[in-house]
Amino acid sequence: MTRLTDLPAWQALQAHHDAVKDVHLRELFAQDARRGERLSAEGAGLYLDYSKHRVTDETLTLLRQLAQETGVAQKRDAMFAGEQINVTEGRAVLHVALRAPRDAVINVDGKNVVPEVHEVLDRMAAFAEQVRGGVWLGDTGKRIRNIVNIGIGGSDLGPVMAYEALKHYSDRALTLRFVSNVDATDLLEKVRDLDPAETLFIISSKTFTTQETMTNAHSARTWLLNTLKDDTAVARHFVAVSTNAAEVQKFGIDTANMFGFWDWVGGRYSMDSAIGLSLMLAVGPQQFRELLSGFHDMDEHFRNAPPEQNLPMLMGLIGLWYNNFFDACSVAVLPYDQYLAYFSAYLQQLDMESNGKHVTLDGETVDYQTGPIIWGQPGTNGQHAFYQLIHQGTKLIPCDFIGFCQSLNPLPPHHDLLMANVFAQTEALAFGKTLEQVLAEGVTPELAPHRVFEGNRPTSTILADKLTPRTLGALIALYEHKVFVQGAVWNINSFDQWGVELGKVLAKKIAAELDSQDEPQLSHDSSTNTLIGRYRSRRTS
Ligand code: F6P
């Protein structure tokens, strides 16, 4: 197989980069009065302005050619068709089936999986209605008022992000908490003000063997039984979301209260499966289905929109342009909506666990950069923290600005001020301020260099009308598919995560050594042995 860097489109992009790398966005906008309208696309209720990117029409043509030469569309179709594209685990990758309408047909090994998906959704909905309606009661007959999701990674980040994002639509009589860290502080701080008799734990774990989750689940059980005393209480206060019925049963949860999903759903792609149960409890089945519709809208857009209008294609390819040709190593995701406080953290797992790979599908070590570092936090807070570096630092950091035309909390003048900052930041980053402009403002020549903004700092702006469950679904799916496009071009497996294994194995071994009463024979390097020794001699118990 031809190496990616030897492909005609890659070579052409390299030469093109040498020719255009210093062209300023000021010039590009001056050359085309309609650039702002022209370089935009719309799909699934999201409007993408990509005009403030350092791209020309030729750049975009070459990037699309690269997608063609690397078979992105064929790979996308293979995913939607249920082929085993996760080759290192021998699995299909079908999170798109989780939001397929009831009458869709998606086969895995010759079996249509859509009916099973809807069967689980219907069971989740029935359970959610029971809890929300006060029909499902705790062991002492009290109504459930607190929901605690225990999970980590994909079994936590999606639910917590989406719960925060859709809080406006949630039942405020319910208290939702999310416990993930194996640090007992996480669990104990989250339950300290809760009444066990009114608390329902959802143990969310695809494997039901994850150390952090199982440790927290057992401690939560102890916490509950300290008050409720009787083991049988577990049945009314614990439900499970997992693919592993045997382990769920072993823990003591009735499998009648288990909501399943499938090995073709990756953890970081699972928030729209039963892993979203806590969210469904918070916002209700109707809104949860709206969320799924939003995901599906974007799936259809990704599948059918032509490449020039295709949002995930555009974002994936433009991201790759900076990552591989400008050597930009990170992307800042900056949502201008407080409800999206956890969005960047969610995207960190989605993108970095998917595309943090250095070996191709053929087992070759890559000779090009793969997944970028994803970071960010909601505006406008970041403006008073790290934006200085984005504006005037030495690193090129492409940014995604995300904003909404309507506020869910319309309190004048807040929303206009918030959005004014979105538009101001992207304008300032693109166009900056020249030395001439600074001097013309009367700044002294000594101070002037410090006041110059080079500009030419690229941004995407994603605008939607309003943050609704449907918009959120579309937004998440946009990023899922952006990650897919990049992984497809890089020819890596975006759907395994072997890189997290070694640390897990070593932690298990070291935990056993810490647990030992005798001085264990430490077989690590001298640094690790010394650290373990110091910890053992000074720990509290
Ligand atoms: O961090 C590795 C990982 O396997 C993630 O991919 C996954 O989302 C997380 O652990 C949690 O796994 P589980 O849902 O099986 O507990």
The predicted complex's ipTM stands at: 0.98
The predicted structure's pLDDT at residue 517:
76
Banded pLDDT at 455 (limits 50, 70, 90):
very high
Mean pLDDT of the region 429-433: 98
Q: How many angstroms separate the CA atoms of 332 and 421, rounded?
A: 16
Active site residues: 353, 384, 504
Q: What is the domain partition of the chain in residue ranges?
A: 4-70+289-490, 98-283, 501-537
Question: For ligand 1, is residue 213 a contact (CB within 6 Å)?
Answer: yes
Question: For ligand 1, is residue 205 a contact (CB within 6 Å)?
Answer: yes
**Residue whose CB lies within 8 A of the most ligand 1 atoms, among 91, 149, 152, 348, for a mutation test:** 152
pLDDT at 322 over 90: yes
- For the entire predicted model, the pTM comes to 0.98
Question: For ligand 1, is residue 158 a contact (CB within 6 Å)?
Answer: no
Q: How many angstroms separate the CA atoms of 387 and 373, rounded?
A: 16
CA of 403 to the centre of ligand 1 (A): 30
Superfamily of domain 98-283: Glucose-6-phosphate isomerase like protein; domain 1 (3.40.50.10490)
pLDDT at 326 over 80: yes
CA of 142 to the centre of ligand 1 (A): 33
The predicted structure's pLDDT at residue 541:
62
**What's the pLDDT tens digit per position in 532-541?**
999 999 997 6
CA of 259 to the centre of ligand 1 (A): 17
Question: Do the bridges between strand 238-242 and strand 330-335 make them parallel or antiparallel, or are there none, so unpaired?
Answer: unpaired
Closest atom of ligand 1 to CA, residue 213: 16
**What's the pLDDT tens digit per position in 115-128?**
999 999 999 999 99
Question: For ligand 1, is residue 210 a contact (CB within 6 Å)?
Answer: yes
The predicted structure's pLDDT at residue 210:
96
CA of 152 to the centre of ligand 1 (A): 6
The predicted structure's pLDDT at residue 523:
85
Question: For ligand 1, is residue 273 a contact (CB within 6 Å)?
Answer: no
Question: For ligand 1, is residue 379 a contact (CB within 6 Å)?
Answer: no
Question: For ligand 1, is residue 354 a contact (CB within 6 Å)?
Answer: no
- List of residues 6+ apart from 451 with CB closer than 8 A: 433, 438, 443
How many C-alpha atoms does 401 have within 13 Å on its Cβ side? 30
Q: Do the domains 98-283 and 4-70+289-490 match in fold?
A: yes
Question: For ligand 1, is residue 165 a contact (CB within 6 Å)?
Answer: no
Q: How many angstroms separate the CA atoms of 343 and 161, rounded?
A: 6
Find out whether 339 and 283 touch, Cβ atoms under 8 Å. no
The predicted structure's pLDDT at residue 522:
77
CA of 156 to the centre of ligand 1 (A): 9
Mean per-residue pLDDT over the chain, rounded? 97
The predicted structure's pLDDT at residue 520:
73
Give the 3-state secondary structure of 263-276: CCCCHHHCCCCHHH
Q: What would the two tokens of residue 516 be?
A: 């030992």
CA of 153 to the centre of ligand 1 (A): 5
- List of residues 6+ apart from 140 with CB closer than 8 A: 197, 228
pLDDT at 403 over 70: yes
The predicted structure's pLDDT at residue 511:
93
Coil vs helix vs strand at 52: coil
| Percent of residues, the chain, with pLDDT higher than 70 | 100
**What's the pLDDT tens digit per position in 114-169?**
999 999 999 999 999 999 999 999 999 999 999 999 999 999 999 999 999 999 99
More confident residue, 471 or 522: 471
Least confident of 44-53, 80-89, 215-224, 503-512: 503-512
Mean pLDDT of the region 375-393: 96
pLDDT at 467 over 80: yes
Q: Which of 374, 371, 375, 397 is CA-nearest to residue 499?
A: 371
Architecture (CATH level 2) of domain 4-70+289-490: 3-Layer(aba) Sandwich (3.40)
**Residue whose CB lies within 8 A of the most ligand 1 atoms, among 88, 89, 93, 155, for a mutation test:** 155
